[in-house]
Amino acid sequence: MNKEFSEIFPDIPADIDASGFDEARVPQHVAVIMDGNGRWAKKRMLNRLNGHKAGIEAVRETIRCASDIGVRYLTIYSFSTENWKRPQDEVVGLMNLFAKTMLAEVDGLDEENVRVMTIGDTTALPEDTQRAFAAAWGQTKDNTGMTLVVAVNYGSRAEITSAVQSVVNEALAQQEAGLEVAAVTPEAIASHLHTASIPDPDLVIRTSGEMRLSNFLLWQIAYSEFYCTPVLWPDFNRYDFLRAILNFQGRARRYGGV
């Protein structure tokens, strides 16, 4: 861990028994489906964009906490390929919010030795948003602390389709060159995914009580543990994150064995 446990979690709620926390069993990669911004806003009679803005603090809190306890990779699902179907004003507002937030946060992330990368088709994003993510990568790519993976304009089916097409194209090129065609293997497909350079998630957290994957990392989470909480994303804090970690540490991961 990068800090003392008591410094990361100074005011643990009475319902959390953290005595069994095991620093050696902190998940290497945590993926988060951040859900509930719209419902949080609706409960307060605000527009949906206000909910997304409120969720930024939960993102900050989760990044800090994950980094401090020793998580090596944190993937946040910020915008899916299906989210383009949302009202135009919400989509435009989200894109502006991504750009402004990344530009405002990158110096702090850099100081914390966090590396920022994206997965998904960023070429479809507005130029300002593309530049903000590219600048964050350029500034932090040599950092050696936690890697923050922002899934933006990301859809797992599209990712897998693209990976399989790449494997097929390579096989056709080998055939045309008179070479032995390599077998299609899980490893070959995985090497063409957006996440080829990072390990699969150990733990997937979904907020707001929903129990679905929403086209998120379908290949990569084959053996991930799941933790769902009814907490809406803007209300999610470090103690909710701690609950998820403790729940994860209480499980036995058998990977199909006994």
Buried b (16+ CB within 10 A) or exposed e, 223-236: ebbbbbbebbbbbb
The token duo for 251 is 């499980």
| Spatial contact of 103 and 135, defined as CB atoms under 8 Å apart | yes
Give me 195's structure tokens: 């996440």
Tokens coding 103: 């530009």
Q: Do 55 and 34 touch, CB atoms closer than 8 A?
A: yes
Of the residues 2, 15, 22, 35, which is catalytic?
35
- Distance between CA 145 and CA 108 in Å, rounded? 13
Active site residue 142: no
Q: What backbone torsions phi and psi does residue 209 show, to the nearest 5 degrees?
A: 85, 0
Yes or no: say if 191 and 213 are a contact pair by the CB < 8 Å rule: no
Catalytic, 35? Answer yes
Q: Which of 2, 47, 83, 215 is catalytic?
A: 83
Catalytically active residues are 35, 83
